[in-house]
Amino acid sequence: MTYKTSGIVGTFNLANAQEIHDGITWYNNAYDIAYSISSETGLPAIVVCGVLAAISPNNKWPKNCANAEAMCAVFAAGGDPMSVKISCYNAMKQKATDILTMQKYAEDMGDCDVTYDQIMAILNGRKIQCFFACIYGHDTNKDIVCIDGHARNIVYKERISLHDSKLTIGVKEYRNLTGCYIAATKRINKENSTSYLPYQIQAITWCTWRRLHGIK
């Protein structure tokens, strides 16, 4: 299969030094945030990563982090995380709550923590599953790429609103877009004698695209 790479490579070539740095470190920093919430609440980092991913759709990252911290804090204190007001859909908040509840069930059953596979099953959506995998296992899941509307627009070199029905990405298209980022990463590395990973190229171009189009 021939994958579209020119949009990704072209956007990467417009990245400034700060955007390259921010992209390379984005998921490491996201995990550090999860670890900090984990330390504050006593919940395992894997659970916090799952909560962050669950409530990420249409939720700006600073709010995403604040919402996750609030839900985890309420749950750790014995409260109902569904009572927390967050900037996300109720269905996504329910997934986050299910992850937290699964952790308590695992503890009650004498297990240590909820497992990676259990969290992936609860998330049950390709984008948020990949977002979780990139945050929690970015060092091992080297070919997993988080594809959101911006990442899709970069590939097709078009600016379509995130609320446009055209941006509904099915399983086949998601797989194809992932292939585009993997192929583009190989091309970028060959042309620049670098060793970027696909999730880093996705993050670098995501940061660059937002700056180019004035997206806050």
Which pLDDT tens digit goes with each residue over 145-182?
999 999 999 999 998 876 666 678 899 999 999 999 99
Split at pLDDT 50, 70, 90, the class of 137 is confident
Least confident among 31-40, 108-117, 140-149: 108-117
Q: CA-based diameter of the chain, in Å?
A: 54
> Amino acid letter at 11?
T
Best CA proximity match to 57, nearest among 160, 144, 186, 163: 163
Best CA proximity match to 43, nearest among 92, 91, 120, 97: 97
> What backbone torsions phi and psi does residue 114 show, to the nearest 5 degrees?
-60, 150
Split at pLDDT 50, 70, 90, the class of 198 is very high
- Burial class from Cβ neighbours inside 10 Å (0-12, 13-18, 19+) for residue 5 reads buried
Q: What percent of the chain has pLDDT over 90?
A: 82
Tell me the pLDDT of the chain averaged across its residues: 93
How do the domains of the chain map onto residue ranges?
6-26+140-212, 27-137
Distance CA 61, CA 56 (A): 7
Q: What is the pLDDT of residue 139?
A: 61
How many Cα neighbours within 13 Å face the side chain of 60? 5
**What average pLDDT score do residues 189-213 get?**
96
